[in-house]
Chain A
Amino acid sequence: MKPLNFLTAEPADPTPDVGPRFRGGPFALFVAIFCAFSAAGGGLVLWREGLHLWAGLAALLSSAAALWALWDLIGRFRGHAAAQRSHAVLTDVFGFDIICTCRDVAATVFFDPDSLAAGSATRVLFFVENYASRQRIVHFRFGPHAALGLDEAQTCSLLLAAGQAAVYVLPRAVAPVAVPGEHDLPVTLRVESPTGAGLRLPVGRHHLHDLRTVHFAAPFTLGNASTSPAPAAVSEKPRYVSLASLGEPAPRLELLASVLGTAPTAGITTHSAEPS
């Protein structure tokens, strides 16, 4: 079993997992119908051939599979009644251009600021939001990128509770000798469902296709070297902060403002988190 080494957003989100482990979508419906037909048809054919034992076994196995799929479907409908509505922070509150999800997790990666001079500081913002009723572990693999001092690819793993939105802020300093021009930081997103898929939470009017792996290319424009030789971001620590929780009536965007340094940080606890 793989060791679980992931970051938990601050403040912690106590939202429990709800809904069935298995989603019971169209595939479960297909299995239920197909196995029910197989149980009836296969059982009758074998019975008429005089193979009573085989008929019973075929009917039993097919019926069991059909019932299991049917139970998943029932769980899906029961869960839908109890499912809460997602805050849809990324798509609705921020109005970000999100085109797909990765196993129910919407994500976007970009630099702030994204136009900077060589030798200056910037932040990579990894926004994530879980649109499932069960927790997810999000794996971001980013780099390598020589201008950002990333000699090899790094990975950070983030835990997301059901319906939680969060942002991982990674301060980086651009190398003073970096080549001016357009740059892209390659980022690959993969998501684990350690406690099962759960249900998809309602996300407003948006329909987002679901993928297994999503690639990003976070762009930034590099100008000529700045006069300041010491980048300020080196002393900052990465932070992973929660922006919204299903248990709260509204998103807490003041946390984002504090992390980005545009609002007072009094009373706000931030979490230091280094990527592995």
Chain B
Amino acid sequence: MITPELLHRLRLAQRRSAQEQQLLSGRDWILVAGLVQLLSGLHPLFVLINQRVLGSAPRPGVPPGVELAAEVALAAAFVLLWRWARYAPFRAAMTAVVAFLLVHGALGLLEPRTLLAGAVVKSLILVGLVHAARTGYLRHRPL
């Protein structure tokens, strides 16, 4: 029969491996958030093309160029954070959460309607980033 000491040793090693496996999914959340963020930039891009090329009247609120630049910059930041998360998952995920809140908070201050536009997608991104931060935090807790 297997000894309790061996079983304990195996459980500790397996739990460490399981946490590492969860970290993979945590990192992936940051990358997925970046890709979704990039897709979110399609709407201001279409508005910008509509205004510059087709000559439609400008809308009040945040200029689409500023919104597009913010969305693309945030997506690029998420991709960079995804790479950094390999070495510092918790710090990378927390930076992603803070960057996301700052950018969308600033856009919301300028034009509150942007908070409501794509609210479901924004919520999903935030849930994913919080999940990434949680798995990163769990890694550094003692077993």
Q: A94 touching B13 by the CB < 8 A rule?
A: no
Q: Which residues of B in the span 1-40 have a Cβ within 8 Å of any Cβ on A?
A: 1-3, 6-7, 9-11, 13-24
| Contact mask for chain A residues 94-131; partner B; CB cutoff 8 A; 1 contact, 0 none | 11111100000000111111100000000001010000
Residues of A within 8 A of B14 (CB): 94, 96-97, 108, 110, 127
Residues of B within 8 A of A262 (CB): 3, 6
A40 to B10 CA separation, bound complex (whole angstroms) = 59
Q: A219 touching B24 by the CB < 8 A rule?
A: no
A108 to B6 CA separation, bound complex (whole angstroms) = 17
Q: Which A residues form the contact surface with B (CB < 8 A)?
A: 94-99, 108-114, 125, 127, 184, 215-219, 253-254, 256-257, 260, 262-263
**Shortest distance from the beta carbon of A158 to any chain B beta carbon, whole Å:** 18
Q: A256 touching B11 by the CB < 8 A rule?
A: no
Q: B18 touching A219 by the CB < 8 A rule?
A: no
Residues of A within 8 A of B18 (CB): 96-99, 108
> In the complex, what residue of chain B is closest to A217 when comparing beta carbons?
B20
Please name the 4 residue pairs, one residue from A and one from B, whose CB atoms are nearest each other, closest first. A110-B17, A97-B18, A253-B2, A110-B13
Q: B10 touching A97 by the CB < 8 A rule?
A: no
Residues of B within 8 A of A113 (CB): 9, 13
A254 to B3 CA separation, bound complex (whole angstroms) = 9
- State how many residues of chain B have any CB contact under 8 Å with chain A: 20
> In the complex, what residue of chain B is closest to A114 when comparing beta carbons?
B13
21 contacts between A and B (CB under 8 A): A94-B7, A94-B10, A94-B14, A97-B15, A99-B21, A108-B17, A110-B14, A112-B9, A114-B13, A114-B17, A216-B24, A217-B21, A218-B17, A219-B20, A253-B2, A254-B2, A256-B2, A257-B1, A257-B2, A260-B6, A262-B3
Q: List 16 additional A-B contacts (Cβ < 8 Å) besides A109-B17, A216-B20.
A: A96-B14, A96-B18, A98-B18, A99-B18, A99-B21, A110-B10, A110-B17, A114-B16, A114-B17, A125-B13, A216-B17, A217-B23, A218-B20, A253-B1, A257-B1, A263-B2
> In the complex, what residue of chain B is closest to A100 when comparing beta carbons?
B21
A203 to B13 CA separation, bound complex (whole angstroms) = 23
Residues of A within 8 A of B3 (CB): 257, 262-263
A219 to B16 CA separation, bound complex (whole angstroms) = 7
**Shortest distance from the beta carbon of B10 to any chain A beta carbon, whole Å:** 7
Q: B13 touching A257 by the CB < 8 A rule?
A: no
A112 to B23 CA separation, bound complex (whole angstroms) = 20
Q: B11 touching A95 by the CB < 8 A rule?
A: yes
Q: B21 touching A254 by the CB < 8 A rule?
A: no
Of B3, B10, B23, most buried by chain A (CB within 10 Å of CB) is: B10
Residues of A within 8 A of B23 (CB): 217
Choose among A111, A216, A257 the residue that contacts B6 (Cβ–Cβ < 8 A): A257
Of A97, A256, A263, most buried by chain B (CB within 10 Å of CB) is: A97
Known: A254-B1, A257-B1, A257-B3. A96 touches B11 (CB 8 A): yes
Residues of A within 8 A of B1 (CB): 253-254, 257
